[in-house]
Amino acid sequence: MPRTFALLSLMLLISCGFGGRSETPSTAETRAKFGFSSDIVEICDAPGVLGVRIDPVGRGSSNASCGFNDAVRVYAVGGVALNPPARMQCRTARITSAWMSEAVLPTFRDARRDLDSMRVAADYSCRTRNSRRGARISEHAKGTAIDISAFRMADGETLTVLGDWRNNNGGFMKRVFRASCRIWHTSIGPDGDRFHQDHFHFDATRDRGPNTWCR
């Protein structure tokens, strides 16, 4: 019996030591961690995406190209909080789930960084691309885009796109960005253009697949 116990302990140690936090925390664990109320539930058939359904967004705005149905407000993905919570289509929520589990969390885990939350710089916005007059309508107007400006770790360390892209954390920030490109249709960071010095832009247009635009 003691031998069995020792063996079990060893196996547990090995699985924890090498696997890290490989399992997605449960809804209850994530609610408790961030103090979410019980109406924050898993939504959109998107594993690990916690939020609430909301009314269609942006309908009745003066620009008919703006707004979307099947709308949700996402509070956390894969145990990582979105700060503030982000409005998006359910379809985008499912891509966000894949982005977190296949790109973001593995990259942070590899670097032994325990990601706690992400700063959302923009979600829905009825505007043109980069808010320029005459430009095409932004993916932000359709609930298919999210901008991320910072990543906060459980120990309080915070990496910002503006501050860390070009310093000694730059290699890690670029790994996070490039991994994200494999999930989203369009990914734009500080090397992309002057409008993206302080955030990563990710979006998922309906008609084309991931990794179409990554710079």
d(CA 176, CA 126): 28
Closest separation in Å from C-beta 130 to Zn ion:
8
Q: Closest residue to Zn ion, Cβ-based?
A: 201
By the 8 A CB rule, do 214 and 203 touch? Answer: no
Closest separation in Å from C-beta 24 to Zn ion:
26
- By C-beta, is 116 or 147 nearer to Zn ion? 147
Tokens of 190: 């500080």
Closest separation in Å from C-beta 122 to Zn ion:
5
By the 8 A CB rule, do 149 and 121 touch? Answer: yes
The radius of gyration of the chain's CA atoms, rounded to the nearest angstrom, is: 19
By the 8 A CB rule, do 73 and 93 touch? Answer: no
- By C-beta, is 34 or 195 nearer to Zn ion? 195
- By C-beta, is 116 or 139 nearer to Zn ion? 139
Positive or negative torsion for Cα 180, 186, 187, 191: positive
Closest separation in Å from C-beta 125 to Zn ion:
8
Q: How many CB atoms lie within 10 A of CB 9?
A: 10
- By C-beta, is 53 or 132 nearer to Zn ion? 132
Q: Which amino acid is at 120?
A: V
Positive or negative torsion for Cα 178, 181, 183, 188: positive
Residues of this chain that bind Zn ion (CB under 5 A): 147, 201
- By C-beta, is 40 or 148 nearer to Zn ion? 148
Query: Helix (H, G, I), strand (E, B), or coil: what is residue 87?
Result: strand
Closest separation in Å from C-beta 6 to Zn ion:
53
- By C-beta, is 30 or 187 nearer to Zn ion? 187
Q: How many CB atoms lie within 10 A of CB 78?
A: 22
Closest separation in Å from C-beta 60 to Zn ion:
23
HSE-up (13 A, CA, CB side) for residue 90: 14
